Each structure stands twice: as C-alpha cells, then as structure tokens.
C-alpha cells in the first residue's frame, strides 16, 4: 500500500452492536424471493442488521443499468417486494448499482446515473446504497479521479433515508489477481479516488486477498491509512462463485476475524449460491464479534447444522463426509463417495439437503461462462 491519507477522525458510535450483514453479490443465479426471505429471518434472529441486494445476474444493476427501470413493472414489483420483506424482518435493506461503462462516458451519462440511483432509492426506501466499480476493466490511468467525480456527484443527490453510502473500488484488495485480470492499478489510484470525499462515503474491502483466509485488526488499520477512513468489510467467505470455488460447499465456521470491532464500519458476508447452506458459516460470525468461546461457537454451528440437515447431519459426522464437500470437492471425489453423499440427502426432506443434492447432481445455479 502506497498512499497514506489522514485517517477518519469522526467520533465512534455509542452503539456496541457491530454492523453485520449479508451482500448477495455473487455470480450465478440470484436467490428466489422465498429463499431471500428465509435468509432475512435467519439474519434478524442471529445478530445481523442488514441485507444488500447486488447479484451479478441482475442486468438492471449492471449491463443494462441505462435501460428504462420504471418501465419494467415486474422488476419494480420485485425490488419492492425484496425491500419490504427485509424491512418487515427488521433489517436495513441495501441495493447496489454497478454502472458498467460509466467511466468511459460520464459527462454524457451523468444525469442518467443520478436518475437511476434516485429511482432505486425511492423504490426500495433503502438504508444502504452501494456503488460498485469492481470487476471492470481499467479504461484509463485516471480512473481513480473519474470514479471520485462520480461518487461525489451521486453522494450529493442521495435522499435522507440512505444511512450508508458504500463504494467498491476497482481495486478492493491487495491481491495482484485484480491487476492481472483488469489492468495494473494506477500508482495514485487511491489518492485520486478518495480526494475530498465526504466522511460518510464508506469503502468496501475484501482483505489481503479476494478470498481472505483471515482478516486482522492490524491489517484493517493499514487499510484505514490507505483510504483515510475505516473500511467496510466485504467478506468473500463462504462464497463459491469462481471456477476454483464452485466445486465446493463451504460449510465450516468462520476462521480468525477476531477483535475487528472498531476497526471497520461494517462487515458484509458474500454467501454461496446455496442460500440455506450459507447459514452454517453465517451463524458463527456474530459470535466471533461477541467474543464467544470456541466451545460456544462450535455448539452454535452444530445446532444450525442439525436444524438444516436433520437426521442426516449425524450420518455426515459419523462417516466423516463433510471434508468431501469442503476440501476435496465435487471434481475430485470418487463416484462412490458422491453416490453415498447423495444417498444421505434423502434421509430427511429438508430444503438444505435439497441444496446439497442439487450441488451433487451438477447445479444449474451457477453459470461458469460468466466467471473468471
């Protein structure tokens, strides 16, 4: 990290509860409304505060963001339903726009992008607005300054009900994989990006890697120096939307991530394409923030597994089959092991077991043509 800006000196909130939530930000088939509603209820019951709708599949928020939004009545109803259900569950709701191609022609599209943001905010009455520049090929060495101008323009037009305005930089991690895929980050990217932005502008950051094995307070303090403000964690565990990740179901607990309270403005986890199975990891993060013991965290993980998988869970444990899904993966397990796992999914008739069954049979939730 090269840029060193003055850290945010805003006073700490008096609230002790960490701002934890989920961001539906993966590549692949977005969740159905019932699946999303089930997640809302889980999150509200387990110490989470928000849900951000940002699936890569939603072309209204990405490839076709310029198209008439209000003219699509079905989509308008869909967004309103997603937001209303989150609010009914007691969660803050967020929506995130990824305006592909905007930096190449901002002057001509400035009014349109502001209009689109205002429409999204009005339709959803969102508490969180995301503006995402991730996974976009660099089109200029001055991309940081261009994005800064876009962010500043939109920030001035946000309605009062938006409590969190979070941007995702094009380079949201130290991981050099982004430079290889999307172009070498300009030397002064972060200086240009953050120059003069209001303190209310928050910044997503995934960690030292796109998929970080751990996130530490010391590392977040380094990022704070880079950004001039504390980051908002976008945690890519347990997401499984990459070619190297899709053969796995990440059902284990969160690792590390201790003592992060006060070092980030929030923490959003990006779930797997399998919504219910994602709760096995998700149930443990609030407990880590609460300083619970390993025994308590293990017990909560076990309880959630039993709730999801029923009688089959004991059989998974006794036969030591879990590593087949979490470590060996679909491509490397034997046909015999796959058949035995599939048999276990029929022990009980639960939606989570159906997600495992779908995974073992070659899930269509995931389109490998759209990922890198």
**DSSP conformation class of 198:** -
Residue 62: partners with Cβ closer than 8 Å, 6 or more residues away: 56, 98, 100
Give the separation between CA 203 and CA 131, rounded to whole angstroms: 10
Q: Please list the helix, strand and coil fractions of the chain in percent, rounded to the nearest 5, in that order.
A: 40, 10, 45
Asked whether 154 and 190 are in contact (CB, 8 A), the reply is no
Give the separation between CA 133 and CA 189, rounded to whole angstroms: 13
Give the separation between CA 266 and CA 215, rounded to whole angstroms: 13
Structure tokens, 262:
């006060």
Residue of 136, 144, 131, 271 lying closest to 201 (CA atoms) = 131
Q: Across the strands, what pairs with 24? A: 53
Give the separation between CA 7 and CA 89, rounded to whole angstroms: 35
Pairing relationship of beta strands 201-205 and 232-235 according to DSSP bridges: parallel
Residue ranges of alpha helices (H) inside the chain are: 33-45, 73-88, 106-124, 143-155, 177-182, 189-194, 217-227, 275-282, 285-289, 294-309, 311-318, 322-323, 335-344, 351-360
| Known active-site residue 68 | no
Give the separation between CA 29 and CA 37, rounded to whole angstroms: 16
Measured CA angle at 270 (ends 267, 271), to 5 deg: 130
From the list 135, 192, 235, 241, the catalytic residue is 135
**DSSP conformation class of 35:** H
Q: Across the strands, what pairs with 165? A: 129, 201
The pair phi, psi for residue 156, each rounded to 5°, is -70, -20
Active site residues: 135
């Amino acid at each position: 990290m090269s840029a060193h800006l003055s850290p945010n000196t805003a006073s700490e909130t008096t609230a002790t509860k960490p701002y934890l939530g989920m961001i539906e930000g993966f590549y692949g088939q977005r969740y159905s409304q019932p699946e999303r509603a089930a997640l809302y209820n889980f999150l509200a019951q387990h110490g989470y505060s928000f849900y951000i709708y940002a699936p890569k599949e939603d072309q209204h928020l990405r490839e076709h963001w310029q198209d008439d939004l209000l003219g699509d009545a079905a989509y308008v109803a869909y967004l309103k339903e997603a937001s209303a259900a989150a609010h009914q569950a007691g969660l803050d709701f967020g929506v995130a726009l990824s305006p592909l191609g905007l930096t190449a022609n901002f002057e001509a599209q400035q009014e349109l992008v502001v209009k689109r943001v205002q429409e999204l905010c009005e339709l959803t009455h969102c508490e969180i607005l995301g503006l995402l520049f991730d996974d976009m090929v660099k089109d200029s060495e001055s991309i940081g300054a261009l994005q800064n101008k876009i962010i500043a323009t939109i920030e001035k037009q946000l309605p009062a009900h938006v409590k969190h305005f979070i941007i995702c930089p094009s380079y949201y991690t130290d991981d050099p994989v982004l430079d290889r895929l999307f172009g070498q980050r300009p030397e002064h990217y972060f200086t240009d990006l953050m120059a003069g932005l209001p303190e209310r502008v928050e910044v997503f950051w995934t960690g030292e890697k796109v998929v970080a094995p751990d996130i530490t307070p010391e590392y977040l303090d380094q990022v704070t120096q880079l950004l001039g403000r504390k980051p908002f964690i976008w945690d890519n565990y347990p997401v499984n939307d990459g070619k190297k990740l899709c053969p796995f179901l990440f059902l284990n607990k969160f690792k590390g991530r201790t003592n992060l309270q006060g070092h980030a403005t929030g923490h959003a986890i990006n779930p797997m394409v399998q919504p219910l199975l994602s709760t096995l990891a998700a149930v443990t993060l609030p407990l880590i923030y609460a300083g619970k013991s390993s025994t308590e965290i293990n017990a909560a993980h076990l309880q959630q597994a039993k709730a999801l998988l029923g009688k089959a869970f004991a059989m998974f444990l006794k036969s030591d089959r879990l590593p087949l899904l979490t470590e060996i993966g679909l491509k490397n397990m034997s046909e015999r092991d796959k058949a035995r796992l599939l048999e276990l999914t029929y022990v009980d008739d639960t939606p989570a077991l159906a997600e495992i069954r779908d995974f073992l049979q070659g899930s269509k939730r995931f389109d490998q043509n759209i990922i890198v």
